[in-house]
Amino acid sequence: MKELLKNILKGIGVYHPLQSFYRGSIGAAINTYYRFSYAKYKGRGYECNFCHARYGRFVPHYPEKAIENAINKNDVIAGFGKNVFCPSCMSKNRERLVLAVLQNKLSVDEKRILHFSPEKHLYQYISTRASVATVDIMPGFYQSIDKNILQEDATNLGFASESFDMIIANHIMEHIPEDTKAMCEMQRVLKTGGVAILQVPYSEKLNKTIEEPFINNPDRQEELYGQRDHVRIYALKDYVARLEGSGFTVNVLRSDTLKEFLKHAIQERECVVLCYKK
């Protein structure tokens, strides 16, 4: 019954916009709850670089039982931990890390940016400083963030070569069966001299990426990769090799060079993958 309703809503094109609305309203309610319940932690410790609220602790987020094995056994750096959501604005640790890099190591001012599956806080930051095109394969899901979002398939982008100064794809590639095609497309539409920030969940414990690119079994995907719509867990070395094979010059900013950002409650040990077109 649930599937039937879902298919009818998809058929008339309102499923993803409804989901987006639902997500937005639930998100606002959760946000209010955390703001109240974390009021007692207000003070020193961490400062959100989006909303500048200061708290002694942020909202934790740990893997649920069903995915614990995939995440913990493979030691995947995937956005879980003790300080994940800002209790004031609900930004995630992975957004705050990208923001810290944009503010301190790169600049978005006056740039032309391609932002995949836009995250609310990051989009709000870059769109007031740069010219941004947002895209997703299912754009309805993001319409509450940017109503002008375009439908684009990352493996076959409808943009001319050399169109963007910067690309931000924060946890996208692990969803794409033909990931190297997407990497080549991103490299193509990036201007020479441009940079792409291509963050993914990854493991340094693994020597080889775990994957079944065309898998279509959400229960199995959850068990194997820790999320129902992921198609792999990258071994970091392998991920970098695929990016280099797609024409990028890759600079991995290791977590020991990002310590200054720990004050923004970023994920400890997460590195930043900067991909240049030279």
> Where on the chain is the footprint of Zn ion (CB under 5 A)?
48, 50-51, 86, 88-89, 91
What's the burial of 87, exposed, middle or buried (CB within 10 Å: 0-12/13-18/19+)?
buried
Residue number with CB closer to Zn ion (52 or 73)? 52
Residue number with CB closer to Zn ion (74 or 93)? 93
**Least CB distance to Zn ion at residue 273 (A):** 24
Residue number with CB closer to Zn ion (91 or 227)? 91
**Least CB distance to Zn ion at residue 267 (A):** 15
Give buried/exposed letters for 94-129 (b at 16+ CB in 10 A, else e).
bbbbbbbbbeeeeebeebebbbbbbbbbbbebbbee
Per the structure block, which two tokens stand in for 243? 């990016």
Per the structure block, which two tokens stand in for 206? 């693994």
Residue number with CB closer to Zn ion (89 or 231)? 89
Q: Which of 74, 61, 65 is nearest to 211 (CA)?
A: 74
**Least CB distance to Zn ion at residue 41 (A):** 13
CA angle (2, 5, 11) in 5-degree steps: 140
**Least CB distance to Zn ion at residue 85 (A):** 9
**Least CB distance to Zn ion at residue 278 (A):** 35
Cβ 195 vs Cβ 249: under 8 Å: no
Per the structure block, which two tokens stand in for 182? 């997407």
**Least CB distance to Zn ion at residue 44 (A):** 15
Residue number with CB closer to Zn ion (52 or 269)? 52
Count of C-beta atoms within a 10 Å radius of residue 218: 12
Residue number with CB closer to Zn ion (90 or 186)? 90
* Identity of residue 15: Y
Q: Bridge partners of 115?
A: 134, 168
Residue number with CB closer to Zn ion (51 or 184)? 51
Q: What number of helices (H) and strands (E) belong to the chain? A: 8, 15
Number of residues in the chain: 278
**Least CB distance to Zn ion at residue 91 (A):** 5
